Amino acid sequence: MVQDQLSRRSSLEGGKADTFTFTSCKHALLQMSFLHDRVPILGPKSDPVVVAELINCSKAQRLGLARSASEGTNEMQWCGVLDQAISKTLWTSSPRWMPMRKLACLSQRKASHHAAKSFLLKNLHPEDAFTELRKKGLAAATKKSSRVAADGLLGLAHFEKGAAVIEINSETDFVARNDLFQSLVLSVAKAASTLEAVQQFSSKPAALDLHDLELVNVKLDHASITRELCVRDAVSEVAAITGENVRLRRAFYISSQRGIVSSYLHMSPASGLSRLAGLVALEVEDDQEGSHSETLKSLGSSLAMHVVAARPLFLSKELVDSEVLEHERNICKAQASTAGKPENVVQKMVEGRLAKYMEEVVLLEQKYVADETKWINVLLKETSKEIGKTAKIEGFLRIEVGEGIEKLEKDFAAEVAAAAR
């Protein structure tokens, strides 16, 4: 019988599909440590392929095996014991047993319990089973990609001379609050801050190549995914586990060669995470030693918060896009014309409204939100006077989760009607 099991294992390794004998299955049954006070576990002496056959056999076959093993007495109890033992234990090709918690872990990756069990039995190795489950998870994530992902989080990571910020979207804020999702966002943000592209100084927000970022390996600080994966695979894994369309949407960085980059995260759920962020690049002219860094940090933090609150679109009046300016001028002219005033009066009204528009969208022309008696350009002049050198804003970035994404308005009644058809 032992020789039969050894030859069976040898033929399996050689790729042949032999049939298990009833005797070897019965032998495996008899090797169970049967105790009335606890559920038996198929012991390590049992042949793994025989155990796999036991797990795969039908209830009728199990009953027959139980009847034979018990020699016709108490076969129903034996059959129940066998079912319990199989449900508690799975064999892998490595010299150890795979407890049900391993199966549960695989099932948590958004594969059904049945699918996880089938893959384990099919491959007889947890890594092979995990690969198959990943493929299923990836396929599921692909199907989800047609759903709108307008929620999510921003991840921020500072590097020596700047900061990188990335946006990863989910479908709901429920997933955005998930520890696994947050770990993904932080890991990808750190990966973005290590890209070669960020070494090129850019005081204005510069977009990072998502393809390059997706190829960087990351390791999530979470029990669900302990392996190192590239960003693309990590995003897909989280999509499979959470059951939502998760995607890396965009990434930016901003840096300062002779200054600092300050940031502000609005209502941050954890360090480096937020739904709304502001970044400001500041420098002091001819400050080679960085002697005014503390003053800059304090000012930068305040300005980053201001950027989040005031929503500027341009740094200075000179940088306002000519098409945008002309568009606003036409709107102001149309509004002023309805008043029936002379042309020279209309022209003054247009210029006045354009000046007001500049105060709304140009950072240097805005009133400081923390003290509306001051303007941002005045605040910079005061700081320059205090330190004895010219302080200036090189660039800024305001970014919010989901901006520009059109959310679908669901009609619940229509959904129910569609489901009923």
- pLDDT band for position 348 (cuts 50, 70, 90): confident
Within 13 Å of residue 65, how many CA atoms lie on the same side as its CB? 28
Classify residue 408 by its DSSP letter.
P
CA 311, chain centre distance (Å): 26
Please report where in the chains the tokens 């932080």 appear, as a residue. Answer: 186
Q: Which of 14-28, 61-75, 205-219 has the highest mean pLDDT?
A: 205-219
The enclosing H or E element of 265 equals: strand 259-265
**Residue 26 contacts residue 65 (beta carbons within 8 Å):** yes
How does the average pLDDT of the chain come out, rounded? 75
Classify residue 406 by its DSSP letter.
P
Asked if pLDDT for residue 399 goes beyond 70, the answer is: yes
The residue ranking higher by pLDDT, 8 or 342, is: 342
The residue ranking higher by pLDDT, 217 or 336, is: 217
Angle at CA 237, nearest 5°, toward 175 and 265? 45
Share of the chain above pLDDT 90, in %: 40
Q: Which two tokens stand for residue 202?
A: 């850019």
Nearest CA to 269 among 398, 148, 406, 401? 401
CA separation, residue 168 to residues 137, 248, 273 (Å): 19, 4, 11
Q: What pLDDT score does 314 carry?
A: 94
Rounded to two decimals, what is the model's pTM? 0.65
- pLDDT band for position 144 (cuts 50, 70, 90): low
Query: What is the spatial distance between Cα 281 and Cα 202, in angstroms, rounded to a whole number?
Result: 9
Which region holds residue 15: left if phi is over 0, alpha if psi is between -120 and 50, else beta? left
- All structural domains of the chain, each given as residue ranges with its CATH number in brackets, are 1-91 (no CATH), 151-320+362-400 (3.30.479.20)
Name the percent of the chain in helix, strand, coil, to the closest 5: 50, 20, 30
Q: Which two tokens stand for residue 204?
A: 């204005």
The residue ranking higher by pLDDT, 232 or 71, is: 232
